[in-house]
Amino acid sequence: MGLKAEQRVEGGVVVVKPKPSKGLTSKAVDWFEKLIVKLMYDSSQPHQWLSGNFAPVSHETPPCKDVPVIGHLPESEEIREAEEMLINMKRRSNLDLPLKLAMSADDT
């Protein structure tokens, strides 16, 4: 990567160690940001904190591959029409098969 602030650790993780600027402009921007936060803060509104237990559940089943699916999805009208068309095509080809066999037997 070429930057001195970044170092590769085992496993390919990049550790970034930024060196903040300590110039007059950065101090002015930091001061302005703190002023805006202080002016926008409203102590009358409650803070939104997470509460409760967010620990992993021990009796939860782990994810697994190739779970069998029971049932079927409802068919749309287009799929039904396409299936009927294929069935009719197969019926026609099966009806024509004995005729084709008879014609080929007559040719020999």
pLDDT at 101: 55
| Per-residue pLDDT reduced to its tens digit, 14-55 | 777 888 778 899 899 999 999 998 998 888 887 777 777 777
Note the pLDDT of residue 5.
46
pLDDT in tens, 57-88: 777 777 788 888 787 776 678 788 888 888 88
For 7, phi then psi, to 5°, come to: -135, 140
